[in-house]
């Protein structure tokens, strides 16, 4: 599978698909109008602490169970018979009787105390006479119950009703507060007290850094620019493919700007309520004005900045109102206010033209895919906290990863570290980088998939067709590796390493088409049959041939004419202008040219494989034996096939 390269031409995969048919910075508290927990948010009165209910509950429990928990006097517990004996002996001085529990407490003549339990019916007349005769101070008593406990059954319903009403009131107040604050901006404010990302953390992209630093310097030292009448751009739009570091640049600006920095995403403006987006835009710019000099960063601005009045049935009214408010806020700025808008998107083609005009987004900064030097710097940044082995050469890895973004390179280093852990190694070695790159570019290996003998042989010849043509075609990319081990969705993969290219010649694209058709041609040549394994190859070559004819003017019959593909209505194009712009006769010519290119390259692939049939067999046998071989081995096998099939020249002695 050929490695993806930057557009214009998407590279052919060269694989045999299994298709049966077919802030780092800590943000401050958001200014949402909510209280800070110290007042009630309405009248300014001190709010009740959160622990107050627990204190009240503890007091109630103490009143109920506290008396029972208090330690009583040290009394000797005796039986009732012994109590009677002590009374008869005249040793008891005082007796107290609890008529409710029939508990008896008292004291002896010597001062010690005792306790016992009387039987039911005590005291009768005999007991009273005995106590009176012996001179015992008898004090019967019926204690009253705890008044607080007696009030609980009466007060509990009232407490429950009052608590329920208070809960409903607070819930209604909270909902009303949320409704009233729904139009406030959700932007996060960053400060430079503890910056975690700076321009030093962004490897490469010196031109992008220079343009962004100009804006930062203007906000720091506006007098330097005003002396000669320079005006800072009001808006900066970062444009580039996903993963190239647009948001990373914004974080670096937040760490080095030295002024207020507000960060928000485009989706934060949209809500189910009408008018919320425009209200949040107004609140966002009000926050920025309060800061004096500030930077507003809007990530994924295409979610609210799409072209207005487009698509079936008109546009999205709420999004258009939000965009209108943003246009008004941006265009009403004065340079002295010192507010700069930064935005990031990977779809600048769908943005409204009014958003891109001078006075709003004055400057568009392209953040492209990194070149070799930048890839090397990015790999060094992501590898500085990793334990690298002595055989790891980041320069070689940088040369072998064209077309990868910064996020792809970060993922490559992380995947290599994971492979090292799986091997049980204490450091990352070259084999780990190779395994990680194969996994990213060709997919994870599927050990559970077992091919039959016939499928494995067909796959071997299919991949051999790709590999042989990659080795013999003069304008193709260098062959890196070919394997018949199932990876991802492919049963086999042929991987090439595209060189650093920025424009593509007609011969290069034709060689790519020819190579992609090599698998299908090898199956027809060897087995005289066609399989579904070439489904992905056919998709790729058809797309390349279509763009050659319709967009790149690489057809002599069509000439220097460009017919772009049909635009989708949801992208913001007018419905009437999104249809076909050419006649039926032109469409027939275009289809004929696309078919001619594909047919001619299929014939060319068949002729080359027929010429190198011996090399094709040798490569297929090597794949069946070793399952994976590199590009150098393929070139040797192809050359050996040529040498063995060359006619022998008779010598002079014969």
The residue count of the chain comes to: 654
How many other β-carbons are positioned within 10 Å of the β-carbon of residue 504? Answer: 19
Comparing CA positions, the residue from 464, 495, 484, 492 lying closest to residue 627 is: 484
The CB-side HSE value for 75 (13 A sphere, CA atoms) comes to 18
Q: Can you tell me which residue has the tokens 């996060």?
A: 188
Whether omega for the bond prior to residue 123 falls within 30 degrees of 0, making it cis, is: yes
CA atoms within 13 Å, Cβ hemisphere of 214: 15
Catalytic residue among 256, 329, 415, 463: 463
**Which residues, at least 6 apart from 1, have a Cβ–Cβ distance to it below 8 Å?**
13, 14, 15, 441, 442, 490, 493, 494, 495
Give me the phi and psi of 276, to 5 degrees please. -70, -40
Cα–Cα distance between 103 and 510 in angstroms, integer? Answer: 110
User: Residue 549 has which token pair?
Assistant: 């004819």
Bridge-based pairing of strands 294-299 and 260-265 is parallel
- Contact between residue 243 and residue 371 where contact means Cβ atoms under 8 Å apart: no
- Note the Cα 343 to chain centre separation in Å: 19
Q: What are phi and psi of 236, to 5 degrees?
A: -125, 125
Rounded to a whole number of angstroms, the CA Rg of the chain reads 43
Pairing of β 490-496 and β 15-17: antiparallel
Is 463 annotated in the active site? yes
- Ranges assigned E (strand) in 330-384: 339-345, 363-366
Rounded Cα–Cα distance for residues 627 and 464 (Å): 11
Cα separation, 151 vs 146, in Å, equals 9
Pairing of strands 92-98, 137-141: parallel
| Active-site residue list | 463
């Amino acid at each position: 599978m050929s490695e993806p390269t930057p557009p214009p031409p998407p590279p052919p995969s060269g694989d045999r698909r299994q298709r049966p048919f077919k802030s780092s910075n800590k943000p401050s508290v958001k200014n949402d109008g909510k209280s800070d927990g110290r007042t009630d948010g309405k009248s300014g009165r001190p709010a009740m602490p959160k622990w107050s209910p627990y204190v009240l509950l503890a007091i109630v429990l103490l009143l109920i169970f506290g008396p029972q928990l208090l330690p009583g006097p040290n009394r000797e517990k005796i039986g009732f018979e012994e109590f009677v004996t002590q009374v008869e002996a005249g040793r008891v001085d005082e007796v107290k009787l609890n008529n409710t529990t029939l508990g008896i407490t008292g004291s002896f003549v010597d001062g010690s105390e005792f306790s016992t339990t009387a039987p039911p019916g005590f005291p009768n007349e005999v007991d009273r006479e005995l106590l009176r005769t012996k001179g015992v101070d008898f004090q019967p008593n019926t204690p009253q119950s705890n008044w607080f406990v007696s009030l609980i059954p009466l007060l509990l319903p009232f407490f429950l009703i009052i608590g329920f009403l208070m809960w409903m009131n607070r819930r209604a107040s909270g909902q009303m507060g949320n409704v009233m604050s729904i139009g406030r901006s959700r932007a996060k404010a960053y400060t430079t007290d503890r910056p975690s990302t700076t321009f030093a953390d962004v490897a490469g992209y010196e031109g992008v850094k220079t343009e962004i630093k100009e804006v930062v310097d203007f906000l720091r030292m506006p007098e330097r620019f005003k002396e000669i009448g320079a005006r800072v751009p009001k808006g900066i739009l970062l444009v580039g493919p996903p993963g190239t570091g647009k948001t990373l640049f914004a974080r670096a600006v937040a760490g080095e700007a030295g002024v207020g920095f507000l960060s928000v995403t485009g989706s934060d403006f949209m809500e189910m309520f009408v008018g919320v987006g425009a209200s949040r835009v107004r609140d966002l710019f009000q926050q920025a004005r309060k800061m004096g000099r500030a930077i507003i960063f809007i990530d994924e601005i295409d979610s609210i900045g799409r072209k207005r009045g487009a698509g079936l049935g008109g546009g999205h009214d709420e999004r258009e109102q939000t965009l209108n408010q943003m246009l008004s806020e941006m265009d009403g700025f004065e340079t002295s206010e010192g507010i700069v808008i930064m935005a990031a998107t990977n779809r600048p083609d769908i943005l409204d033209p009014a958003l891109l005009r001078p006075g709003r987004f004055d400057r568009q900064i392209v953040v492209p895919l990194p070149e070799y030097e930048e890839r090397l710097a990015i790999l060094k940044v992501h590898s500085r906290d990793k334990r690298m082995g002595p055989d790891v050469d980041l320069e070689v890895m940088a040369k072998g990863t064209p077309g990868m973004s910064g996020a792809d390179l970060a993922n490559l280093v992380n995947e290599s570290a994971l492979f090292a852990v799986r091997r049980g190694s204490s450091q990352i070695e070259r084999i780990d980088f190779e395994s990680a790159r194969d996994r990213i570019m060709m997919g994870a290996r599927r050990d559970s998939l077992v091919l039959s003998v016939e499928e494995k042989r067909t796959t071997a010849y299919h991949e051999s067709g790709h590999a042989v043509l990659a080795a013999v075609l003069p304008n193709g990319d260098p062959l890196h590796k070919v394997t018949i081990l199932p990876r991802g969705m492919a049963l086999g993969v042929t991987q090439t390493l595209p060189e650093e290219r920025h424009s593509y010649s007609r011969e290069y694209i034709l060689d790519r088409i020819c190579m992609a058709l090599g698998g299908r041609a090898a199956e027809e040549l060897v087995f005289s049959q066609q399989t579904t394994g070439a489904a992905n190859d056919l998709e790729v070559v058809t797309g390349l041939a279509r763009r050659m004819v319709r967009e790149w003017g690489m057809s002599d019959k069509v000439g220097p004419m460009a017919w772009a593909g049909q635009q989708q209505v949801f992208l913001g194009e007018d419905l009437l202008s999104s249809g076909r712009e050419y006649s039926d006769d032109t469409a027939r010519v275009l289809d004929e040219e696309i078919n001619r290119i594909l047919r001619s390259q299929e014939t060319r692939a068949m002729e080359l494989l027929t010429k190198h049939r011996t090399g094709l067999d040798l490569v297929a046998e090597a794949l069946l034996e070793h399952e994976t071989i590199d590009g150098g081995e393929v070139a040797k096998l192809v050359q050996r096939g040529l040498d063995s099939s060359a006619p022998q020249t008779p010598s002079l002695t014969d």
